[in-house]
Amino acid sequence: MKVNALPAKGISRYLVAEGLDPEKVRVHISEVEAGSRSHAAHTHPGVEGFYMLEGRATVEVEEERIPLGPNEMIFVDATKPHGISNAGSTRMRYMVFIARG
């Protein structure tokens, strides 16, 4: 099987089998310092998942706030305003999955 190496934030080696559309599923790792967020709430097509590696987060989906800790994961409808912020006193690391139909 042939694979293509693609850039992915926070991942040393990100390989996708040749012939697959790499935009259907994207993965990266983000880090956010205490009291911060990676970006403002936003929307885009598909679904987005957050898997917490370290720290504590608050995931926002429209007006709802969901706490998330290490080894916990959530998938949200990315067409609704959503975001994630650091709810702890230490840096948080989390993996992001974005799937588009």
Kindly report the pTM of this predicted structure: 0.92
- Per-residue confidence (pLDDT) for residue 91, from 0 to 100: 97
Give the 3-state DSSP-derived string for 36-90, with helices as H, strands as E and coil as C: CECCCCECCCCEEEEEEEECCEEEEECCEEEEECCCCEEEEECCCCEEEEECCCC
Q: How many domains does the chain have?
A: 1
Give 23-81 pLDDT, tens digit per residue. 899 999 999 999 999 889 999 999 999 999 999 999 999 999 999 999 999 999 999 99
Residue 62, domain CATH: 2.60.120.10
Residue 43 belongs to domain spanning: 22-99
- Per-residue confidence (pLDDT) for residue 101, from 0 to 100: 74
Tokens encoding 57: 């987060």
Domain membership of residue 2 (yes or no) is no
Contact 68, 76 (CB under 8 A): no
Domain membership of residue 56 (yes or no) is yes
Single-letter amino acid code for the residue at 51: Y
